[in-house]
A and B are shown apart, each in its own frame.
Chain A
Amino acid sequence: RKEVEQDPGPFNVPEGATVAFNCTYSNSASQSFFWYRQDCRKEPKLLMSVYSSGNEDGRFTAQLNRASQYISLLIRDSKLSDSATYLCVVTFLSNSGNTPLVFGKGTRLSVIA
């Protein structure tokens, strides 16, 4: 079973706020983890990969908890331009190697002035 679950939101937050999204995945043999960003009526774009030790890119921090099978994305000092849908993405291990990317349905964020 290959499932990626996210809270759909929307998360409505004021500028400057800190917001966190969680994502759970169904298979403990999951291999790779990513956060993609999708603006309204546009294509998804890679925001960041998620590494076992956690990683940070400017205002964005991603964490992985393999024991509990979830990943998180923390956005600090939210900007209006952060408004988008954030997609949690996982690959799973299959008999033929890694599966293609499996996408969650996304969490919608609206940052309000």
Chain B
Amino acid sequence: DGGITQSPKYLFRKEGQNVTLSCEQNLNHDAMYWYRQDPGQGLRLIYYSQIVNDFQKGDIAEGYSVSREKKESFPLTVTSAQKNPTAFYLCASSIGSGGHNEQFFGPGTRLTVL
């Protein structure tokens, strides 16, 4: 089965610790994205990558970092510099980065910082 996986589903961390969220896809998609969703809010773009070894900042990149060493993988690190990291994090991918391409989402990771 093709799809996007995110792990873990729930993650708890202490304040001040960095944490890395996993995102893997076997859809052979070039583009991948990270979003954050807060209660009652829309999705906000953190980072996106149009191709391997390349990525761009989204609207709220501060306090986050990413890497794209493999086509299948786009991990997101939430650093201690992120002031309010508790949120629902969604990873997505699309065939290309053109705006007409459907984005497929993973099931998300709920991060809670204690």
Contact = CB atoms under 8 A, between A and B. Distances in A.
| B is bound to A | yes
Interface of A: 4, 8, 31-32, 34, 41-46, 49, 87, 91-92, 97-106
Interface of B: 33, 35, 40-45, 48, 58, 88, 90, 97-100, 102-103, 105-108
Contact of B97 (A34, A44, A100): A100
B37 to A, nearest CB: 9
7 contacts: A31-B100, A41-B88, A45-B105, A46-B103, A87-B42, A87-B43, A101-B45
Contacts of A100: 33, 45, 48, 58, 97, 99
B42 A105 contact: yes
**Does more than half of chain B's interface fall in helix, strand or loop, or is it mixed?**
loop
Contacts of B41: 105
Given A87-B42, A103-B42, A105-B40, A98 B108 contact: no
A98 B98 contact: yes
A1 to B, nearest CB: 12
Nearest to A6: B42
Contact of A32 (B33, B99, B105): B99
B73 to A, nearest CB: 18
A101 B40 contact: no
A87 B88 CA distance: 16
Residue of B41, B43, B99, B100 ringed by the most chain A CB atoms within 10 A: B99
